[in-house]
Chain A
Amino acid sequence: MRLTTRAAILFMLPAFVLYATFIVFPTLRGIGLSFTDAQGVVGGNFVGLDNYVRLFGDPAVLSALLNTLVFAVIVTVGQNVLALALAYWLQSLPRLQAIARAGILLPSMMAFIAVGFVWNFIYSPIDGPLDSVMNAVGLRGLEHIWLGDPTTALTAVAVTNIWMYMGYSATIYLAGYFAIPENIMEAAKIDGATGWARFRTVDWPLLAPALTINVTLTTIGSLRVFDPILVMTGGGPGNATQSLSYLVYTNTTQFQFGYATAIAVVLLVLTVIVAITQTTIFRRREIEW
């Protein structure tokens, strides 16, 4: 039976209606709201580009933009390097894989509110486990007020984020390893490629699709970072850990819906540009076999 155009449209209609209702409409409504001085979800007067002019001159927004980009770089690089290392190690230990795969996914299944409180305790400058361990192993000089120092707070939050989602990325890399045809690995082995040489010349190019997915997902997730900051630092000290998403939240709670939405639109545009650029570049590396 051939699928007619009419039937195809009918099949697509439910999905289209849901997508239009829950994605397209709120996005367009949000963009419209960003051109108003709305103090609630409804109402507000049209103010043209005022919110956008204001946000590009707002030091809090510029600081949050910089923090967001720095956070995204730390998390994307750190999470992918560690996840790749973990996946490389796990693929060489077939007996451990079943248990380890479930185990490494566990942190990403937890609620960030719980993870945030646990890491707040770990970083606590009074009797916190991190400083206690460092003290016990003779590294007293490295004790630090991790979340209270503007120079380390953002990195400390990023480390928590990496800990939480590293297993998730590793699972994708592991799936990438499973997708590599066995005969290629065997050929590499016969040719004497082992260790770093095999990783560089065989694994790395063939893991390109997994890398594309992981880097894109990690970047999008970290550009939108919100909950770790809310739970662990509240954007402080000063503006040291304020992200664009957190700024949207603080402005919304102060009833500046129009301004908050304008910041959200900028974040959306930034995320779309970065994601498209990354995908385009990384896709070029992918090879077919």
Chain B
Amino acid sequence: MKNKLIMVAAAAAIVTLGLAGCSASSPASTKKTTLTVVGWKGQGANLADIPTLNKAFEKAYPNIKLDYTYVDDSNYTTYNNPRLAGGDAADVIMVDTPEIRSWGKQGYLANLSGLTAVSEQDSTYKADAGVGGETYAVVSESTPVGLFTNLDLLKKDGINSAPTDWPTFIKDLETLKSDGDGGLVLAQKNLFGGSAIMKLMASNFVASDWAENYDAGNTTFGKSWGQSISELKELFDKGLVDPKLSLGLDENVDAPPQFEAGKWAFMPTGSWELSTLKSATKENIAFIPFPGGAKGSQPKTFVFVGTGWAINAKTKNSAAAKDYINFMSEPKQAEAYLKADSAFSTLKDVKSPNVPEDAAVVKAAADGDMLPSTIDDLNSTGAATAFNTAIENLFINPSLTTSDELKTLNSTVTPTPPTK
């Protein structure tokens, strides 16, 4: 009997301790959620104030622990594709338009309709934030691409202001060349330089609704693109750009350090480089729209939809993921992000930053001389790659005629009607 009593008491004690242990280890109110986020901004030249913003998020949401992974943009799809396919991608994923379309179409992204941040988004970007009428992302910025200009180098060679039209640009490049200075540095090894300069040239000739019409089968790479190709060929023919040298230059390793060192006067790239260039160079620089038009015309440039935030369709932390996107889209955080990236706002209550070096680009935007990116607005996810490859072909074979190049573009960039 005594033994029985001891056993019952022991069992009761074990059960009580067990229950106490359970209740101590799992109160719902104190459990921290770990939210995984992946992006190609947050380090080096692509800092975009992400570390500070992430700290602010953890402070505002003490029940969420943030696990942010930075992945270099050149490896971004390689990193994410297998994880999305395998079902273990991050909860929140930084995306751009091609990724929104590719991943959204395949069901890897959650539908964000109804999210507070989505309702704050400017309606201009609705088509870029989704596919087939669904919204898969909140677009955080629109990013202008233009021409970084070394004003000190121009001044040294007797040029007192940045060029605004094509004849002046050619004359400036010829002056720089005759004085033994670098003119336009085009880094084509990663296919970026040639594609950027061609799209900048095109912004001076191609209609703003060209992409929509091309996908609908109503237009082709025609006369306006021919003018852009002729400008590039003129640079080659006059020896102002060496296509072979460009093919050997790396967008990250060669061009920016050369420009920072003051060895070249012009470098085409996006506004995201502005903060880094400003802090890395002693030169007086400006970020200007592309002087590609006829004498006396206003320079134009293009803008493409930059980064956005999306949620993995298979996330188990949907609420925390939504909190993160809403937080990053609030004016205070969004404005800090835009300032660090020198980008334009895509959200109704968020102001674009005021940076003196890109005043000419801001003016172009205000004057209606900033067009959406033609190629990046095409529906086919392979359009940009096909375009870049066709432009690379021109660098490899500079003797190709404009009509040959147009034929290549028309045959390789596939018109794709929008998904219904």
Q: Residues of A at under 8 Å CB distance from B?
A: 39-42, 117, 120-121, 123-126, 145-150, 233-234, 236-238, 249, 252-255, 257
Contacts and interface: CB of A to CB of B under 8 A. Distances in A.
19 contacts: A40-B84, A121-B253, A124-B253, A124-B254, A126-B249, A126-B254, A126-B258, A145-B245, A145-B247, A148-B245, A148-B247, A148-B249, A150-B396, A234-B189, A236-B191, A252-B81, A253-B78, A255-B81, A255-B102
Given A148-B248, A234-B189, 5 more contacts: A42-B86, A123-B248, A125-B248, A149-B248, A238-B389
Nearest to B385: A254
Given A41-B86, A238-B392, A145 B253 contact: no
A108 B250 CA distance: 25
Given A40-B85, A40-B106, A249-B78, A237 B392 contact: yes
Residue from A120, A123, A125 having most chain B Cβ neighbours under 10 A? A125
B247 A236 contact: yes
Interface of B: 77-78, 81-82, 84-86, 102, 106, 188-191, 244-250, 253-254, 258, 263, 381-382, 385, 389, 392-393, 395-396
A148 B189 CA distance: 7
B177 to A, nearest CB: 15
Nearest to A240: B396
Contacts of B86: 40-42
Residue from B189, B246, B254, B381 having most chain A Cβ neighbours under 10 A? B189
Contacts of A145: 244-245, 247-248
Contacts of B389: 238
A126 B191 CA distance: 18
B244 A149 contact: yes
Contacts of A126: 245, 249, 254, 258, 263
Contacts of A124: 248-250, 253-254
Contact of A117 (B78, B253, B392): B253
A223 B86 CA distance: 28
Contacts of A249: 78
A116 to B, nearest CB: 10
Given A233-B189, A257-B85, A146 B253 contact: no
Nearest to A43: B85
Main secondary structure of the interface of A (DSSP, over half): loop
Nearest to B261: A127
B44 to A, nearest CB: 14
A249 B79 CA distance: 11
A148 B85 contact: no
Nearest to A152: B248
B247 A149 contact: yes
Contacts of B82: 41, 252
A39 B86 CA distance: 11
Nearest to B74: A234
A39 B85 CA distance: 8
A253 B103 CA distance: 11
A268 B392 CA distance: 31
A40 B86 CA distance: 7
Contacts of B78: 249, 252-253
A59 to B, nearest CB: 12
A253 B190 contact: no
A237 B395 contact: yes
Contact of B77 (A125, A146, A253): A253
Contacts of A40: 84-86, 106
A237 B258 contact: no
B396 A238 contact: yes
A17 to B, nearest CB: 23
B188 to A, nearest CB: 8
A71 B244 CA distance: 22
B191 A148 contact: no
Contact of B393 (A233, A238, A257): A238
A120 B252 CA distance: 11
A236 B253 contact: no
A125 B254 CA distance: 9
B411 to A, nearest CB: 13
Nearest to B85: A40
Nearest to A238: B396
A42 B84 CA distance: 11
Contacts of A149: 244, 247-248
B106 A125 contact: no
A40 B85 CA distance: 5
Nearest to A40: B85
Contacts of A255: 81, 85, 102, 106
Nearest to B79: A253
Contacts of A150: 396
A148 B249 CA distance: 7
B391 to A, nearest CB: 12
A177 to B, nearest CB: 40
A42 B248 contact: no
